[in-house]
Amino acid sequence: MTLTNRTITRRTILKTGAASALVSSYGMPLLAQDRSLKIGSYGGYFEDSFKKYVYPAFTEATGIAVESVTEPNSTDWLVTMQQGMAAGTVPADLSLFARDSMIKASRIGGLLKPLDLAAMPATEKFDPYFVFEDTTGKIGVGAMGWFTAMVVNPQEVDVPTSWADFWDTSKFEASLGLSKNFNSQFLDIVAATFFDGEATFATRDGIVALVEKAAEIKPNVALWWSAESQMEQGMKNTDIVGGQYYYDVAGLMKADGFPIEPVFPKEGNPQDYGSWCLAALSDKDAEAAEFINFSSLPSTQALMSRNIGTAPLLDTAMLDLTPEELAGVTGTPAIRPAYQAYLDEETFIKETWDKMLAQA
């Protein structure tokens, strides 16, 4: 079933391995064309959709052949890129990185090549937030977005209007599923709901206050999930009646008839996004520029939203998506995660969060 496939492989578990990497490189016919490009994306449903909808349209528009490469997830792919660099190979010319992994790659240094945005006119329409620049230049351009959203089982509970409702033990005792990872944006939700948003992450006292507020929700949490599939099963089996989950996947589950409602409460939901980044050892600058330009076109952003369920990074007014199609992939307001703090205070936040969970 595609849903399960997608939820497990897209962002979390390394499941595909070398075999599927091999299969995927055969997935696109390697035509005897002069120009080609190796592009990495998250394996499973996600990559399959790219091979089915996006790459053929790109090849048709530009004549550049695409060889698809499987990334298990951003963090593991970063390790693969590092090892590839050390061995002098290029695992993929263009890779998809979540923002935190991209900043990490930038800090490790020497892994990514600055992009020439003059060769990609379509990127001018992006909010500058989606073009990441470090000391070497612009190293990442936004590809697509996704939301971590509030979800509830509408058959069991009333749909809340605020994240604060989840702290109400009279309504949600031992009933919620939240992510166990310190950087899976629950702290950003706490910051947006009870504090000053990203600014609260600026000091260690602020971070401790966030974690202490998060600790107050513990009696209401029945499942601290580490893999998406746990949350999916928990909602399907009614072990839990609400929590934090991916907006697009929840929408797919709802479409399949499961009792789940993805919600945009008044504080909003955290938005994360993937960026296209060029490997430092790649010599396909020109082809990569053409692909990023293609990916940034309103028509391609709409194509991805429609067929892959990702949130568009352009102003929705530029897109030809229907209101229903838009509601299925995006919403407002969007909470922007405190990426910088998660990296600068990595060990501190992780251990403070883990201690809260371990009651140690």
Record the tokens describing residue 215, joined without a space: 């600790």
Stretch that binds other proteins, among 32-40, 117-125, 128-136, 173-181 (CB under 8 A): 173-181
Nearer to other proteins, 164 or 222 (CB): 222
Using rule CB under 8 A, residue 15 touches other proteins: no
- Residue 65 CA to residue 81 CA, distance in Å, equals 22
Q: Tell the smallest beta-carbon distance from residue 192 to other proteins (Å).
A: 21
Stretch that binds other proteins, among 1-9, 59-67, 228-236, 264-272 (CB under 8 A): 228-236
Nearer to other proteins, 35 or 355 (CB): 355
Q: Tell the smallest beta-carbon distance from residue 132 to other proteins (Å).
A: 15
Using rule CB under 8 A, residue 271 touches other proteins: no
Using rule CB under 8 A, residue 181 touches other proteins: yes
Please report where in the chains the tokens 């990490």 appear, as a residue.
104
Run of H or E residues at 80? helix 74-87
Nearer to other proteins, 156 or 315 (CB): 156
- Interaction residues for other proteins, span 231-260 (CB under 8 A): 233, 236-239
Single-letter residue type at 68 = S
Q: Tell the smallest beta-carbon distance from residue 230 to other proteins (Å).
A: 7
Per-residue mark of binding to other proteins, 326-355 (x: CB under 8 A): -----------------xxxxxx-xx--xx
Nearer to other proteins, 116 or 344 (CB): 344
Cα dihedral 335→341→347→352 (10° resolution) = -60
Q: Tell the smallest beta-carbon distance from residue 255 to other proteins (Å).
A: 20
What SS3 class is residue 266?
coil
Residue from 183, 244, 295, 305 touching other proteins (CB under 8 A): that is: 183
What is the Cα 279 distance to its own chain's centre? 20
Nearer to other proteins, 332 or 347 (CB): 347
- Residue 93 CA to residue 81 CA, distance in Å, equals 10
- CA 279 → CA 37, 59, 110, distances in Å? 12, 21, 9
- Residue 284 CA to residue 139 CA, distance in Å, equals 15
What is the Cα 231 distance to its own chain's centre? 17
Q: Tell the smallest beta-carbon distance from residue 227 to other proteins (Å).
A: 8
- Interaction residues for other proteins, span 43-82 (CB under 8 A): 75-76, 78-79, 82
Total residues contacting other proteins by CB under 8 A comes to 43
- Residue 119 CA to residue 134 CA, distance in Å, equals 19
Using rule CB under 8 A, residue 173 touches other proteins: yes
Record the tokens describing residue 233, joined without a space: 């099963």
3-state class percentages of the chain: helix first, strand second, coil last, to nearest 5: 50, 20, 30
Q: Tell the smallest beta-carbon distance from residue 89 to other proteins (Å).
A: 19
Q: What are phi and psi of 86, to 5 degrees?
A: -60, -35
Using rule CB under 8 A, residue 223 touches other proteins: yes
- Residue 35 CA to residue 31 CA, distance in Å, equals 10
Record the tokens describing residue 180, joined without a space: 């166990």
Using rule CB under 8 A, residue 222 touches other proteins: yes
Please state, as a whole number, how many other Cβ atoms lie within 10 Å of the Cβ of residue 271: 23
Stretch that binds other proteins, among 103-111, 186-194, 302-310, 312-320 (CB under 8 A): 103-111
Q: Tell the smallest beta-carbon distance from residue 225 to other proteins (Å).
A: 9
C-beta of residue 300 within 8 angstroms of C-beta of residue 163: no
Q: Give the residues lining the site for other proteins (CB under 8 A).
A: 14, 75-76, 78-79, 82, 100, 103-104, 107-108, 156, 173-175, 180-181, 183, 222-224, 226-227, 230, 233, 236-239, 343-348, 350-351, 354-355, 357-360
